[in-house]
A and B are shown apart, each in its own frame.
Chain A
Amino acid sequence: MKNPIEHLNKVFDSRIRLGIMSALMVNAEVNFNDLKELIQVTDGNLASHLKTLEENGYMKVQKGFIGRKTNTTYSITKAGEKAFKTHLDALEKMIRSIE
């Protein structure tokens, strides 16, 4: 039997990154402030996790403006969706194998 652990994605080890990905899975786009409120983390902390996800190609950033204020929104990429689903499947397999 293949070891399901190898499919668990290291990037999603962090609760914050997992939270970001979950929110992006069900929303076409989410802005920085909504994410901050949902996950309840500081600006710097959230920004660094967002950067990790972006560098892995799981998430893309759109910078826009509402009036004069910057409005940065984030959305999931195809690769991110695939990686997240693989991660979920691996979680499910691990739980099943123990039952």
Chain B
Amino acid sequence: MNTTEQNLEALRDIRSMMERSSRFISLSGWSGISAGTCALIGAWFAIKRINSYYGNEYDYSTACPSCLKNDLITIATFVFIGAFITATLFTFLKSRKEGVAIWGSAARRLLWNTLLPMLTGGFLLWRMMELKEYQLIAPGCLIFYGLALVNGSKYSIGEVRYLGYAEILTGIVALWTVRSGIYYWAFGFGILHIVYGVAMWWKYERSS
């Protein structure tokens, strides 16, 4: 019967309008892949730097822990900038292809809801660094980032939630293995992002 088709179509319209008006769904899988790659490159430099510190300098009186700290902060800053720029770029390209404005009210809500947990965590970690409590920095990054993703998933592709859960879980495991924090950090921000990006690309972008 024709009207059934029409009614089903009306329901589909309603559903898609509700989603498009409240969620920012132009996040590209490539954004995940590029952010993960930046994290892995950064982690590689960080591991090299940490190993050289504990391998060579640690025993000597010339050891400079604050140099190590500054180098690691520099690496982290570059990773953040690189990941942010490339991730934004791929998402911008995707939203332009779909004809959706990147800066709509849905994007604003997504940004606010992910920034709030991240900034809160940022202050906590900053204070921990001031107090020279470095052990829980890596797990802290992972946990707050995971919470930010779970919180933001309501305003974006629903699958972001699972990436968030995985980050939180990685962070919690890392709480008890503080010596290898950087490896968990590399896994959480590198591998998980890439896996997520590939999965999203496969699911949503492969055909187009």
Q: Which residues of A contact B67 (CB under 8 A)?
A: none
A5, closest chain B residue (CB): B3
Contact between chains at B4 and A95 (CB < 8 Å): yes
Contacts of A98 in B (CB 8 A): 1, 4
Contact B21 A18 (CB under 8 A): no
Closest to A24 in B: B21
A30 on interface, CB distance cutoff 8 Å: yes
B131 touches A (CB below 8 Å): no
A94 x B7 contact (CB < 8 A): yes
Cβ–Cβ < 8 Å partners of A18 in chain B: 10, 13-14, 17
- CB pair B7 A23 closer than 8 Å: no
A23 touching B105 in the complex, CB below 8 Å, given contacts A15-B13, A94-B3: no
- Flag whether B11 is at the interface (Cβ < 8 A): yes
B105 adjacent to A22 (CB under 8 Å): no
- With the chains together, A27 CA to B24 CA distance in Å? 13
Closest partner residue, chain B, to A31 (CB atom): B105
The reply on B104 being an interface residue by CB < 8 A is yes
With A22-B13, A94-B4 known as contacts, the answer to whether A38 contacts B20 (CB < 8 A) is yes
Question: Quick check: is A91 within 8 A (CB to CB) of the other chain?
Answer: yes
Residue of A26, A91, A95 touching B21 (CB-CB under 8 A): A26
Inter-subunit contact B14/A34 (CB<8 Å): no
In contact, A91 and B10 (Cβ under 8 angstroms): yes
Enumerate chain A residues within 8 angstroms of B21, measured Cβ to Cβ: 22-23, 26-27, 30, 34, 38
A91:B22 contact, CB within 8 angstroms? no
Contact indicator B17/A19 (Cβ below 8 Å)? yes
Instruction: Give complex CA distance A25, B13 in Å.
Output: 13
Q: Does B172 contact A (CB under 8 A)?
A: no
Q: Are A26 and B10 in contact (CB under 8 A)?
A: no
Contact surface of B with A, Cβ cutoff 8 Å: 1, 3-4, 7-8, 10-11, 13-15, 17-18, 20-22, 100-101, 104-105
Ranked nearest first, the 5 interchain pairs of A and B with the lowest CB-CB distance are A22-B17, A23-B21, A22-B14, A26-B22, A26-B18
Interface set of A (CB-CB < 8 Å, partner B): 15, 18-19, 22-23, 25-27, 30-31, 34, 37-39, 88, 91, 94-95, 98
